[in-house]
Homo-oligomer: A and B are copies of this chain.
């Protein structure tokens, strides 16, 4: 393979899965074009976007003429195609720890709190804002408690040791979401130290929602 592929990220400024993909792209030092998909206008469900991603979810990463979907799979692809700087340690046992941290967010926190689920809680069960915020806080609290234990055990400057990893790519957007929904975070000092350090890294900071082209005052 010669040269870098043309990369276009279809995402939404405040989507956690888009945010984690931006962090990884930035950490790899890759240039990419952004095509905003406005979730509030349901743009992800339109035919033109579904022709790219039949699931109708963000993000999608166009690589030359092909499309990658599912942010955690995209991060693994980035790691394989652009190994430097690495977002996983070398030893399988340590890679498994980093991936477990990432999956705690990707599988057990984020999916329960994203916009399509919150909409369903309202439409199916009449959940008002208070009930939905309690729901969000519940799953974040459960997941962060476990993550804090793992980060206290394995973390350094960042979630795993002193190098940014896939774990941080997943954790930083989840902390952003927790703050947005006013979830108290004092009980997770190891996690918050790692997240604060990660956010201060220029590549991570450049991925933050308010710095994206489609950001709007909320």
Contacts and interface: CB of A to CB of B under 8 A. Distances in A.
Interface stretch (A30-38, A72-80, A172-180, A204-212): A72-80
Interface string A25-51: 000000000000000000000000000
Contacts of A108: 55, 57, 111
Contacts of A127: 124-125
A62 interface: no
Copy number of this protein in the oligomer? 2
Given A108-B57, A143-B55, A100 B135 contact: no
A196 interface: no
A28 to B, nearest CB: 13
Interface string A57-86: 100000100101110111011001100000
A117 B74 CA distance: 27
Interface in A69-125: 69-70, 72-74, 76-77, 80-81, 92-93, 95-96, 99-100, 102-104, 106-108, 110-112, 117, 120-121, 124-125
A201 interface: no
12 contacts: A54-B149, A55-B146, A56-B146, A57-B108, A69-B100, A70-B99, A70-B100, A70-B107, A72-B103, A103-B106, A111-B111, A124-B127
Interface of A: 53-57, 63, 66, 68-70, 72-74, 76-77, 80-81, 92-93, 95-96, 99-100, 102-104, 106-108, 110-112, 117, 120-121, 124-127, 131, 134-135, 138, 142-143, 145-146, 149-150
**Across the A-B interface, the 4 shortest Cβ-Cβ residue pairs:** A73-B99, A55-B146, A125-B125, A70-B103
